[in-house]
């Protein structure tokens, strides 16, 4: 049984995210919100706190009086050292005290600032757990661990290597960045990662292995399991669906390469169709021009536009395969869990968290990173009834937000109790300031 004090007013758990799903729909904020909902479903006292830029306040839709916003000014945020303005911590502290929070679970430090971790420890003594969703602490390139400008995969960071990617910053600055971020994270009671790949990378970077637990993200509003397989109609083409942000990091360039190559094959439209679902906002003009040109001259590939996440199960079930062609390592893309919930195998880049979540030829197929020709080859191979049935039979079960919440709660209890015991054993006295 969980420690009952978690459920009392004085035992509230705060889930803190860098954004609210009503403002942005990235995997980290959706996972954080799913956890918050799951904790409440199992009877725990939980609140959800999200940062929100002042310019996006009109988009913000808080779901209840258990949800709170910390309003930020992006111009006052240091994206290199990840330090926020002092009023961010003051707003956060006010909420934590008023809601009698006992434990804080951060799902990111972006926009929140690692200085908030420091202040939390120094001014409140509240234990905190950090859920990591990518490699931002290691890599200044959006946490992608991909070099710039060449966009090659990077397997390890160092001040010298990072300064080559960012010549505007010195080796000394990168050394200071690493020391600052690592120092802010180390006091955490524990760390949670949705994949072993991410956990291993962060451990190699310098976080203690004994503080790590791997918990898969649970889906919000998980629908009843879809029937595995496809409708067998003579001459029906195979349908491949892409879902998510349409960006080069997510492999949109690779998909466009594959579409161009497949388009050279005679009557390819009789064999397969490709549907691209997602948002194109914020992309470079050159990329947008290429995207429009490629799809306008293709008779078998089409752009289906943005979609509401509530509809993703139905949209995926209308496809035979889900494509995940990301060119960075990824961690645990929610699109993979959504595909499994829809009863659909995945074709993905065979690296990092994607390879971990999609064992090759068990519940999906791999292709080489950033290789449109190999993606095209695998798609043609996938258009086979025998192979498809075998992959569908290997699809794993998908956890929902309630399962995730129970796993998190048990983990919180294991992580926080040793911290509480250490606090009781510590001699009481006035904090000495240097």
The domain tally of the chain equals 2
Residue 342 lies in a domain: yes
Q: Are residues 337 and 253 in the same domain?
A: yes
What is the domain extent for residue 299? Answer: 238-393
Residue 96 lies in a domain: yes
The predicted structure's pLDDT at residue 230: 67
Residue 229 lies in a domain: no
Q: Rounded to whole angstroms, how far apart are CA atoms 273 and 219?
A: 27
The predicted structure's pLDDT at residue 349: 97
8 A C-beta contact, residue 128 and residue 188: yes
Q: Are residues 156 and 259 in the same domain?
A: no
Give the N- to C-terminal CA distance of the chain in Å, as an integer: 43
Helices vs. strands in the chain: H and E counts, helices first: 14, 13
Residue 83 lies in a domain: yes
Q: Are residues 163 and 20 in the same domain?
A: yes
3-state SS class at 364:
strand
Q: Are residues 213 and 260 in the same domain?
A: no
Residue 27 lies in a domain: yes
The predicted structure's pLDDT at residue 107: 96
Q: Are residues 15 and 141 in the same domain?
A: yes
Q: Are residues 360 and 339 in the same domain?
A: yes
Query: Tokens at residue 361, please?
Result: 């030829």
Q: Are residues 192 and 318 in the same domain?
A: no
Beta bridge partners of 193: 214
Query: Tokens at residue 345, please?
Result: 């195998």
Residue 228 lies in a domain: no
- φ, ψ for residue 153, nearest 5 deg: -65, 135
Q: Are residues 40 and 165 in the same domain?
A: yes
Q: Are residues 409 and 349 in the same domain?
A: no
Give the strand order in the sheet containing 12-17: 67-72, 46-53, 12-17, 101-107, 128-131, 190-193, 212-214
The predicted structure's pLDDT at residue 282: 82
Q: Are residues 55 and 200 in the same domain?
A: yes
CA dihedral (385, 386, 387, 388) positive or negative:
positive
Q: Are residues 143 and 246 in the same domain?
A: no
Residue 230 lies in a domain: no
Three-class DSSP labels, 14-45: EEEECCCCCCCCCHHHHHHHHHHHHHHHCCCC
Q: Rounded to whole angstroms, how far apart are CA atoms 198 and 135?
A: 7
pLDDT tens for each residue of the chain, 434 residues long: 444 444 443 479 999 999 999 998 888 999 999 999 999 999 999 999 999 999 999 999 999 999 999 999 999 999 999 999 999 999 999 999 999 999 999 999 999 999 999 999 899 999 999 999 999 999 999 999 999 988 899 988 999 999 999 999 999 999 999 999 999 999 999 999 999 999 999 999 999 999 999 999 999 877 656 566 666 566 789 999 999 989 988 999 999 999 999 999 999 999 999 999 998 888 899 999 999 999 999 999 999 999 988 899 999 999 999 999 999 999 999 899 999 999 999 999 999 999 999 999 999 999 999 999 999 999 999 999 999 999 999 999 999 999 999 999 999 999 987 655 445 544 443 333 33
> Which residues, at least 6 apart from 362, have a Cβ–Cβ distance to it below 8 Å?
391, 394
pTM, to two decimals: 0.88
Q: Are residues 130 and 263 in the same domain?
A: no
Residue 268 lies in a domain: yes
Q: Rounded to whole angstroms, how far apart are CA atoms 42 and 284?
A: 44
Beta bridge partners of 67: 48
The predicted structure's pLDDT at residue 226: 59
Distances (CA, A) of 310 to 25, 64, 259: 12, 19, 28
CATH number of the structural domain spanning residue 315: 3.40.50.2000
């Amino acid at each position: 049984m969980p420690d009952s004090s978690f459920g009392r007013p004085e035992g509230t758990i705060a889930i803190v995210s860098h954004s609210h799903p009503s403002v942005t729909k990235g995997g980290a904020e959706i996972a954080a919100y799913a956890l918050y909902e799951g904790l409440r479903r199992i009877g725990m006292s939980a609140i959800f706190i999200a940062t929100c830029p002042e310019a996006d306040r009109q988009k913000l839709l808080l779901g209840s009086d258990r949800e709170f916003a910390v309003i930020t000014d992006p111009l006052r945020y240091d994206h290199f050292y990840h330090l926020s303005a002092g009023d961010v911590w003051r707003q956060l502290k006010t909420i934590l005290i008023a809601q009698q929070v006992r434990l804080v679970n951060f799902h990111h430090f972006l926009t929140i600032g690692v200085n908030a971790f420091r202040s939390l420890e120094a001014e409140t003594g509240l234990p905190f757990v950090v859920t990591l969703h990518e490699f931002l602490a290691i890599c200044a390139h959006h946490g992608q661990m991909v070099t710039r400008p060449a966009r090659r995969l990077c397997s390890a960071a160092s001040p010298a290597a990072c300064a080559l990617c960012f010549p505007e910053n010195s080796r000394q600055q990168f050394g200071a960045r690493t020391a600052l971020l690592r120092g802010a994270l180390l006091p955490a009671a524990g760390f949670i990662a949705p994949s072993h790949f991410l956990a291993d990378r962060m451990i190699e970077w310098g976080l203690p292995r004994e503080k790590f637990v791997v918990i898969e993200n649970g889906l919000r509003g998980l629908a009843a399991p879809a029937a595995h397989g496809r409708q067998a109609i003579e001459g029906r083409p195979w349908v491949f669906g892409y879902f998510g942000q349409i960006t080069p990091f997510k492999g949109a360039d690779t998909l466009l390469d594959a579409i161009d190559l497949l388009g050279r094959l005679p009557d390819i439209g009789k064999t397969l169709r490709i549907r691209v679902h997602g948002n194109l906002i914020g992309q470079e003009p050159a990329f947008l021009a290429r995207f429009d040109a490629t799809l306008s001259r293709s008779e078998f590939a089409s752009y289906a536009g943005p979609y509401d996440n509530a509809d993703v199960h139905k949209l995926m079930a209308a496809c035979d395969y889900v494509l995940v062609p990301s060119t960075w390592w990824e961690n645990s893309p929610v699109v993979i869990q959504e595909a499994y919930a829809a009863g659909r195998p995945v074709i993905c880049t065979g690296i990092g968290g994607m390879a971990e979540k999609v064992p090759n030829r068990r519940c999906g197929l791999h292709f080489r990173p950033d290789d449109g020709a190999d993606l095209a080859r695998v798609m043609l191979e996938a258009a086979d009834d025998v192979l498809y049935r075998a992959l569908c039979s290997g699809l794993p079960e998908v956890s929902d937000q309630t399962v995730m919440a129970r796993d998190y709660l048990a983990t919180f209890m294991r992580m926080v109790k040793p911290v509480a015991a250490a606090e009781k054993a510590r001699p009481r006295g006035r904090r000495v300031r240097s």
